[in-house]
Structure 1
Amino acid sequence: MSATDHGLVPDWPAPARVRALQTTRRGGVSLAPYDGFNLGDHVGDDPQAVAANRAALAVALPATPLWLTQVHGTAVLDAGVPQRDATADASVAHGPGAVCVIMTADCLPVLLCNDKGTVVGGAHAGWRGLCAGVLEATVAAMQVPGETLMAWLGPTIGRDAFEVGAEVRDAFIAHDANAVSAFRPGSIDSKYWADIELLARQRLAAVGVSRVYGGGLCTVSDGERWYSYRRDRTTGRMASLIWLQD
């Protein structure tokens, strides 16, 4: 990924009119433990600091993003339509002038676009939403065949840091027996190390999205660049953004 003043630009073969940005924690005005470019207004940070960080980000964007109230569900909103209630875990945009944004601090952000550059989307894929079908719902809302889409996986908790209970493994395997390959025995009995990127790739492949880029950016192990809730508990949020250029 190449760097900008506001974060990193995903390295993927998206059409020229598709623009995407992944923020880091570098820069910004938030103080510890949110230092520095925290964009989450729901984590206890000074509201003025968050507003200043969002204002700095806005300089790089064509419109105000649709900031979602994420609840680990599967609802998808249209970022190009005014929303009275922005409770959702994904958004799509079918034209310029709308910015999809996902906030994370361990959960997996997934950005999507089609080959023609006519639709983009972003999804918040924590394990609950991923298991419930948020990626499938996002692809459906994009209203194009999955085979015409490509995806980019942003920073998330890595496979060597994400230990879950047997109930998480069982829930994924109940949906798809192939999910067993994304889990390995954990540090104690009844615990498993989970590969959330592999689980996302499996879910995307099931709806025709086989071209998946990015990955390998562990939030837990890289505290200089990324916020991590599992590592720090009280912490900020990064943003993964995508939009269509006019």
Structure 2
Amino acid sequence: MVRKTLEFITPDWTMPDHIQAYTTTRKGGISPSPYDSFNIANHVNDTPENVEKNRAALNSALKLPASPLWLQQTHSTQVINSQDWQEGIEADAIYSNQTNHVCAIMTADCLPLLLSNASGTEIAAVHAGWRGLADGIIEKTLAQFDAAAEHIYAWLGPAIGPEKFEVGLDVYEAFISHDPMAEVAFQQSDDSHFLADIYQLARLRLRQHGVSQLFGGNYCTMTDASRFFSYRRDGETGRMVSLIWISNK
């Protein structure tokens, strides 16, 4: 049995009613600590039975038109079309122009990025950790869209906040070598460490490629322990999921 009511975050963008998008919180499932309680990931040592029950509760609560298209995420820049999805496929972004294809990205500090064109005929879900961001996951996903960039909306979901995301010189240099303007997203804490703003880094990439309709980006998974899983905070923990689909209703 589900112990508590499931809680969801909905993007604060204005989209056509047939675009459905949500991010889960950790509240409402059946998994025990340290996966308490609404863990939907089957790769974190939670029991398969708990994960399946949590996923069933997700499907029921959101009245999903189909099971989410789960990805094996590897911090790559691999983008797939939802029509090419198959069980176990490795990718870190999924694009769709089909109705009722539920695109899904799991996170627990990395940035979940949801995209849709203004008319709601094209969508994507992106797993944007620092490595994927630096290597071009946003650019590769935008390239899938037929819509012009100025007609694409982006929502930045719950990720580690800029006051908690400490990184090394390698991360700083990975972004600065691509774009010196990325320096604005880093605050140096000592000779070899920085506080990085993953939201700002994503916004920079999006704006560079013509996407100006930007929403979200005001969360911190690490500090908000009651709502969010955080790998950096807890190590062994669960995962949230960010979902987007084009409804035919």
TM-score (norm 2): 0.94
What are the equivalent positions in structure 2 for 1:76-155 lying under 5 Å apart? 76-83=79-86, 85-155=88-158
The percentage of aligned residue pairs carrying the same residue is 50
User: What's the counterpart of residue 217 of structure 2?
Assistant: 215
Structure 2 equivalent of residue 51 of structure 1: 52
Name whichever of 101-110 and 206-215 sits farther off: 206-215
Is 1:162–1:193's contact at 8 Å kept on the other side of the alignment? yes
CA shift, 1:85, in A, is: 4.6
Q: Look up the SS of the partner of 2:232 in the other structure.
A: helix
Question: What SS does structure 2 have at the residue aligned with 1:121?
Answer: strand
Gapped runs of 5+ residues in structure 2?
A: none
CA deviations on 1:125-174 (whole Å, 9 max, x unpaired) are 00000000001111111232111101000000000000101111111011
| Greater Cα shift, 136-145 or 17-26 | 136-145
Letter in 2 for 1:7: F
* Change in 2 beyond 3 A, CA 1:82/1:131: closer
- Between the aligned partners of 1:102 and 1:84, the Cα distance in structure 2 is 14
Corresponding residue of 2:207: 205
Runs (4+) of structure 1 exceeding 3 A deviation are none
Aligned length: 242
Mapping for residues 55-74 of structure 1, pairs under 5 Å: 55-59=56-60, 60=62, 61-74=64-77
Aligned-residue CA RMSD (Å): 1.2
SS at structure 2 position matched to 1:141: coil
> What does residue 242 of structure 1 align with?
244
Q: Distance in 1 between matches of 2:128 and 2:17?
A: 26
Q: 2:160 aligns with which of 157, 180, 186?
A: 157
Give the match's secondary structure for 1:52: helix
Q: Which runs of 5+ in 1 are unaligned?
A: none
Contact 1:6–1:57 (CA under 8 A) maintained in structure 2: no
Structure 1 residue 84, shift from structure 2 partner? 5.3
